[in-house]
A and B are shown apart, each in its own frame.
Chain A
Amino acid sequence: MNPLAPRSTARRTPLVLAVLTLIAILAFAAVSRLVTRLKANEKQIGWHAYEAGLIQAQAGHLENALDDFRAALTYDRDNPKYQLSLARALRDTGRFNEAEAYLLHLWDAAPQDSTINLALARLAARRQSVEDALRYYHNAIYGAWSSDPENNRRNTRFELIEFLLKQNARPLAQAELMALVQVLPPDPAAHLMVADLLRQTQDYESALAEYKMVLKLDHGNAAALTGGGDSAFHLGRYRTAEKYLQQAVALQPENTQARAQLQTATLVLQSDPFLHRVSDAERNRRITADFLHAGERLKSCAQSQEIDLPAKPVAGTVPPGPSANGLTSLWARWQAARPELRRLSSPTNADLPDALMDLVQDIEQQTAQQCGEPTGLDLALLLGARDREIADQ
């Protein structure tokens, strides 16, 4: 062993360390310059590949776009724009796992970035994962947008609502719509969209309010009139429905659905004996007409079912009660009640109008079940009956 060697090293240690530090600093600077040059060169190559990828993606050649985006990332590995584009292309080509890996990587770096959250939300939506989609959509809505945040937030929420409706998650969609309504600008198009979505969630009350808002901002908006008419129709407000639908049909005569709905609404209003401001004579006339029409509907339904209905009531038989639901029993009840029509104007029979219209309701409901959806006056009678039942409840 040579004892001199360690001591000589030890003696000049500070100088050695100083020299090594100096060399390290110089080497650092040199390598830094080298790496900067390489990175600049690679970034340029990456940018060209990225642009090529965007062109391919726009042309619908997603597989080629994937190759280009991958190449771009090879040269500029940390570029979030490239990663996002690659993730979107991967998602659109059904490679969900890899797309998710890229997006989660981006998300780790910027969890508040709305664009990344939106991409993740769309991925979750493609996977039908309501919980994840809701989380990422919310992150996107409340996150940071690089431009036009209000508009982007609104559009993202619209997208979320559409997704929720597709998933039959109506309560969640309604909650989102309620949140959206609070921040809507006075823009008829936006209100119309919200109203349509509310109508899809069957929240007709809120939808009608939104259609009214649209009409306040844009008086002759045919879509709002149609939607408002439909909402009012579903709410049983046939007079309002008639008013909106008349205007809608006037503006769009080719709108057959609105026309049919208008016709039904008018029939309901014309056939309902219990409407306000209907005189006793008119009420009795409507009850008689409705009763006779229900009898005709019963006969034709029985005929189509090849059921023979007796021409006269069977002597000695007690008419079945309201619980009986067969066509034959309904016919028996109808035949038994028919003579009562003469006593409608008598003040001692206060319950008779209700009893007769209850029978009409039973007949329409039963025939609707056995002989298919009613149309025309039958539909009007059925709707009127349902509304009365709801009102009674």
Chain B
Amino acid sequence: MSASPITAPSVSARGGFANALASRFARLTLGTDFEEERFFLILSIFIGVFSGLAVVCFRVAIDWSRIALLGPLPHPSALRIIGAPTAVGLLVAILVVHFFPAVRGSGVNQTKAALYIFNGYIPFKNAVGKFICSALAIGSGQSLGPEDPSLQIGASLASALGRRLEFSREKLRLLAPVGAAAGLAAAFNAPISAVLFVIEEVIGRWSAGILGSVVLSAISSVVVMRWFLGADAIFRIPVTTFVHPGELIAYAGLGVAGAFAAAIFSRSIGFFRPRLRALPRWTQYFQPAAAGLLIGLIGWIGFPQVMGAGYEFMDQAMHDQFTWRMLAALAGLKILATTLSFVSGTPGGMFAPTLFIGAMLGGAVGGIERHFFPLLTVSTGTYALVGMGVLFAAFLRAPMTSVFMVLEVSGNYSIIVPVIVANTVAYVISRSLQPIPIFDTLTRQDGLVLPSLEEQRDEHILHVEDAMQPVPTTILDGNSPVEMAELRARDLPDKVFLVRMAPSGWSCLTRNLLERLIKEGKGALTLASVLPTKRLPYLYPDLPLDSALRHVSEAELIPVVNRADLRMLEGVVTRNDVLTRYQADAVAD
């Protein structure tokens, strides 16, 4: 992998005094040989701090714009409720079209694209644009959330910092997810979920190398956020109860309902987004305004809950504040409102709307259950809480995050069984209803192909044992003379022989070499004395077949040994075996 820096502005621009100060400071504290790895870890903390500060400012900006646009009263006037999202939609469209074209949508895909396509490069302008446009849009009542923009803002800050510090391309790539985790953790006050989400959706694969940095940045950003905005969770979790094991059937039902809702939501976005983007350019000025107008009308006819992120209404749903009919209506209208906001290109996230829809749907299912089976359930609050995870698993296809998010938000592990049951059902059904996850759909619509954990789950991984040949009938002993070995090999068809060396290890020799040694009069010598001292590499049967590729060019034959006893041979593998197995797999696909 190439690891040259992307930009290399002159370091010598700094004054001599600064250099002298730096070296003196270094001698006093850390020494000059400060490892880059350790520095990267420390920098992760700084990224967390800066992202946390940025997210705090972002939250403040959203609050300010909401008060300014919709007013401080609980029930805004009709003029504000319809006018604010419409007018702000127009303003946001102008900003997006003319100044910040890259800030459309949620920001998760842009961050992922930066990681895999642009070597971790995210312009700082994106952070500024995302901040302004999303704060205005969410504050005016567009049905979007602040989490995904926070993720992108964090990633942009990290990328800008990495570039400024002239990190290698390899490190620069890693910085984007570190910042993304910090931004998301601060936005949702849930560091574990943020780390998991970034791994599942941004990095798209499990990578132990970056995990430490991601965790550090997420934790530090949450600390900063809590410093300013308090340590309270977003929701006041009601007393959650799991009354009867029979309830699990209802939770499974919630999973089914969530999967269908997610499919409708996902397909709506997938259907309308490319069509609206294909419209003439001048319409882009009016699309967010039109979405804002329609959302304002939804609010005006009696459903203002669908406007904005809607956390306070999720909280109320968890406390039985709505009838199940109202909850079902809110879930449906939120799907509509979020689809309108998102496909119109308004910057903002889908994280909060997903949770909103899930909470309302969960509450509705819980309400229906209580209506028909009043003895089975006590409160619909638990269903609303589980519903949030269900939609998260089904729509965003982040099953691990969905489980931990509910546990982290609720701080209640007693509902883990319902959460796992409902989320698993939702995830499995949604995979069959909508094979391509929403973020992958969006990237494909943008003409990009990015890796995802979902792809990895589907991927059939070949292992060494799939290509391995049985143990050869003849294994030569390294202590036996060459002439004895030649005698044993004479009647065998094999061209390559495996040699067991003492006290451990393996080597191999070809029939040609054996015959040459005899001709050269070295028949009395032991095999160990004539073979190279370097032992053969060996493999384990469960290793991925990719790892065999690294070694098959080094020797004609690679032994595959047992993990419990390295002298016990399980089989052998050759370059030809590996290639044949890959070809067979390709034909099968």
Interface residues of A (CB under 8 A from B): 1-2, 5-6, 8-18, 20, 23-24, 27-28, 31-32, 34-35, 38, 41-42, 45, 48-49, 67-68, 70-71, 74-75, 77-78, 95, 97-98, 100-102, 104-105
Contact = CB atoms under 8 A, between A and B. Distances in A.
A42 B49 contact: no
Contacts of A32: 228
Contact of A77 (B33, B49, B232, B237): B232
B166 A98 contact: no
A1 B166 contact: no
Given A1-B3, A95-B319, A18 B228 contact: no
Contact of A105 (B8, B72, B236, B379): B236
A70 B236 CA distance: 13
B326 to A, nearest CB: 14
B228 A98 contact: no
Interface string B521-543: 00000000000000000000000
B74 A34 contact: no
B167 A5 contact: yes
B165 A16 contact: yes
B72 A71 contact: yes
B564 interface: no
22 contacts: A9-B166, A10-B34, A11-B22, A13-B26, A13-B30, A14-B22, A14-B25, A14-B30, A14-B34, A15-B18, A20-B43, A20-B46, A24-B46, A27-B50, A27-B53, A31-B56, A32-B228, A42-B67, A70-B74, A77-B230, A101-B319, A102-B236
A49 B238 contact: no
B168 interface: yes
A10 B32 contact: yes
Given A10-B32, A70-B74, 15 more contacts: A1-B4, A5-B167, A6-B36, A8-B166, A9-B36, A9-B166, A13-B34, A20-B43, A27-B50, A31-B53, A48-B72, A67-B74, A67-B75, A95-B320, A104-B239
A158 B33 CA distance: 75
Contacts of A14: 22, 25-26, 29-30, 34
Contacts of B321: 95, 98
B546 interface: no
Nearest to A96: B320
A135 B46 CA distance: 48
A14 B42 CA distance: 11
- 7 shortest interchain CB distances as A-B pairs: A98-B319, A15-B22, A1-B3, A71-B74, A2-B4, A13-B34, A14-B25
A15 B53 CA distance: 22
Interface residues of B, number: 56
B297 interface: no
A2 B5 contact: yes
Given A20-B46, A27-B50, A6 B30 contact: no
A104 B240 CA distance: 13
Interface string B218-230: 0000000000111
A78 B312 CA distance: 14
Nearest to A48: B72
Interface in B10-43: 11, 18-19, 21-23, 25-26, 29-30, 32-36, 39, 42-43
Interface of B: 2-5, 8, 11, 18-19, 21-23, 25-26, 29-30, 32-36, 39, 42-43, 46, 49-50, 53, 56-57, 60, 63-64, 67, 72-75, 165-168, 228-230, 232, 236-239, 312, 316, 319-321, 379, 381
Contacts of B316: 98
A78 B232 contact: yes
A188 B32 CA distance: 85
A376 B21 CA distance: 111
B228 A74 contact: no
B167 A17 contact: no
A5 B165 CA distance: 10
A45 B25 contact: no
A53 to B, nearest CB: 10
Contacts of B379: 97
A100 B36 contact: no
B238 A97 contact: yes
A98 B320 contact: yes
Given A1-B4, A5-B166, A102-B236, A97 B32 contact: no
A24 B50 contact: yes
Contacts of B43: 20
A39 to B, nearest CB: 9
A1 B8 CA distance: 13
Interface of A is mostly: helix
A182 to B, nearest CB: 36
A31 to B, nearest CB: 5
Nearest to A64: B74
B2 A1 contact: yes
Contact of A10 (B39, B72, B75, B239): B39
Nearest to A72: B74
Contacts of A1: 2-4, 168
Contacts of B21: 15
Contacts of B39: 9-10, 13, 16
Contact of A35 (B26, B73, B167, B228): B228
Contacts of A68: 74
A14 B22 CA distance: 6
A2 B168 contact: yes
Contacts of A48: 72
Contacts of A95: 319-321
B230 A10 contact: no
A30 B32 CA distance: 33
B229 A10 contact: no
A68 B73 CA distance: 8
Interface-centre pick from A14, A15, A23 (highest chain B CB count, 10 A): A14
A12 B312 contact: no
B168 A5 contact: yes
Given A97-B320, A98-B320, A71 B63 contact: no
A322 B25 CA distance: 113
A390 to B, nearest CB: 48
Given A14-B22, A24-B46, A97 B56 contact: no
Given A45-B67, A67-B75, A98-B320, A9 B165 contact: yes
A17 B34 CA distance: 12
Nearest to A75: B72
A95 to B, nearest CB: 7
A350 to B, nearest CB: 69
B322 to A, nearest CB: 11
Contact of A18 (B25, B166, B237): B25
Contacts of B49: 24
A5 B4 contact: yes
Given A45-B72, A67-B74, A98-B321, A74 B4 contact: no
Nearest to A102: B236
Contacts of B232: 77-78
A29 to B, nearest CB: 10
Contact of B53 (A11, A28, A67): A28
A105 B320 CA distance: 17
B63 A38 contact: yes
Contacts of B168: 1-2, 5-6
A49 B72 contact: yes
Given A6-B168, A97-B319, A35 B238 contact: no
Nearest to B6: A5
Contacts of B18: 15
Contact of B312 (A5, A16, A74): A74
A42 B230 CA distance: 15
Nearest to B236: A101
Nearest to A69: B74
A8 to B, nearest CB: 6
Contacts of B72: 45, 48-49, 71, 75
A35 B63 contact: no
Nearest to A28: B53
B135 to A, nearest CB: 13
Interface-centre pick from B35, B56, B229, B237 (highest chain A CB count, 10 A): B56
